[in-house]
Chain A
Amino acid sequence: MAGKIKMMIDSIIEQRAKNNTMLQGVIKTKLMLKGIDPKKYAPHSNDDPAIISKLEALVKDFK
């Protein structure tokens, strides 16, 4: 499987920032400080279980 990480990151940013560019930047910064660089993931990136697990934990709080 591939592309799940990019999909999850995009979903988190979209849901949380709601098109607010300032918040989009802050959320990307928060992700990078957790070791998840949004720029590194494309639709064909491998589904790294460790990163997916981090993102799943985030989704719970980011709602």
Chain B
Amino acid sequence: MNIVSAYSSEESVDTAVQDLQEQFKHLDAKMVIYFASSVHAPEIISQRMQEAFPAAAVFGCSTAGEIAMGRMLKNSVTAMAFNAQAISEVEVAVVENVQDESGIEQAFASFEKRFGAAMLDLNPRRYVGIVLVDGLSGAEEKLIEKIGDLTDVTFIGGSAGDDLKFVSTHVYANGKSYSNAAILALLKPGTEFSFIKTQSFNILPGKLVVTKANEASREVVEFDNKPAAAAYAEALGIPVEDAVGRFTHNPVGLVIEGEPFVRSPQQIKGSSMLFYCSVVEGMELSVLESTNIIDDTRTALDEAKAKLGTISGLVNFNCILRTLELEQKQTTEEYGGLFADIQTAGFSTYGEQYIGHINQTATMLVFK
């Protein structure tokens, strides 16, 4: 095997890292990606993971739950190691002040130096990027949009979590822990790869056009020139007082070629609505209705298997809102089981990235 996944639920950082090291001992790791519960001290886990795999590019982030081969976890570390056959080249860069776009340009300059080509000239079928970003920075939209402006290479990833404490989230690289930062990794896989973007929603006929918004604070003031909360409730045919209770079941989405890019409402503030990602004035959003995460994920995995023939490894960035829904329906075991025969590492995120920043979605990087 060229890609191996592992997890450890050991309480001490040192023991957990040793556990992972033992499970990866037969692989000459060129790259290790890991996702660690916030129970593990950020500075220590990042340092120990780099020390455990000194010859590898090692990076990761904190989580709101972990995903391993065949199971969903809490208070654990999940990881995936790749040898040189799986990843022929990799460069990792840290964007320390994630609001500052110049940091992305500096990261890209380091990629261009390493790979000897301009980012705009890299073939998106041969290169892929991973982005891990502070999940409380509120900066994901600008980050992924700027990345998309500067390259055709697809960057996929997730926003770091902190087990629903919403205090501080961390990204890890070079043996260090960073907040208000992003890790960008540019990979040249030695094998074919593909992407899964799956969300479990039907698109309802109701439409809401954003007529007034404060993009920076992810606030929609008005839909269709009406107070946002009232317009949302009207679209669902419910009283405004009941609107909050419908947020998870009925988010909204920008529908592109029949595919929703989900925007999840967070709360009602006065007559406005706050979202978990930015909503832009002029955007026409469709009201969505949740379907079955298990069935839809199974279908998405089957399609990826059919496309690639086999799956040798999968990195899963799964929205925490999906995880909460799975927990509420007591189907986390069933969800984990979907990945029972696939080398898998992933985590429950505070946001997902694939072309843009999205919510209530799982984005997955899949290797043949």
Q: Chain A: residues with CB nearer than 8 A to chain B? A: 16, 23, 25-26, 28-30, 32-35, 37, 58, 61-63
Contacts and interface: CB of A to CB of B under 8 A. Distances in A.
B261 A33 contact: yes
B150 A30 contact: no
Contact of A23 (B124, B254, B282): B124
A33 B148 CA distance: 11
A23 B152 contact: yes
Contacts of A62: 149
Nearest to B261: A33
B268 interface: no
Q: Is the interface of A mostly helix, strand, loop or mixed?
A: helix
B280 to A, nearest CB: 3
Contacts, number: 40
Given A26-B355, A33-B355, A35-B282, 4 more contacts: A23-B124, A29-B356, A35-B283, A61-B150
B241 interface: no
B282 A30 contact: no
Nearest to B356: A33
B149 A58 contact: yes
A15 to B, nearest CB: 10
Which 6 pairs between the two chains have the least Cβ-Cβ distance? Answer: A35-B280, A61-B149, A33-B356, A30-B148, A35-B282, A29-B256
A35 B150 CA distance: 18
A61 B101 CA distance: 12
21 contacts: A16-B152, A25-B257, A26-B152, A26-B154, A28-B256, A29-B256, A29-B355, A29-B356, A30-B145, A30-B148, A30-B149, A32-B256, A33-B145, A33-B261, A33-B355, A34-B280, A35-B280, A35-B283, A37-B284, A61-B149, A61-B150
Q: Is the interface of B mostly helix, strand, loop or mixed?
A: mixed
B112 to A, nearest CB: 15
Nearest to A23: B152
A29 B144 CA distance: 13
Interface of B: 120, 124, 145-146, 148-150, 152, 154, 254, 256-257, 261, 280-284, 355-356
Contacts of A29: 256-257, 261, 355-356
B145 A34 contact: yes
Contacts of B146: 61
Nearest to B213: A35
A7 B208 CA distance: 28
A33 B150 CA distance: 15
Contacts of B282: 35, 37
B339 to A, nearest CB: 27
Contacts of A35: 280-283
Contacts of B154: 26
A25 B355 CA distance: 11
A63 to B, nearest CB: 8
Contacts of B355: 26, 29-30, 33
A61 B146 CA distance: 8
A32 B356 CA distance: 10
A32 B254 CA distance: 8
B257 A30 contact: no
Nearest to A35: B280
B282 to A, nearest CB: 5
Contacts of B356: 29-30, 33
B120 to A, nearest CB: 8
Contacts of B281: 35
A32 to B, nearest CB: 5
Find the residue from A23, A28, A30, A33 having the highest chain B CB count within 10 A: A33
Contacts of B124: 23
A25 B148 CA distance: 13
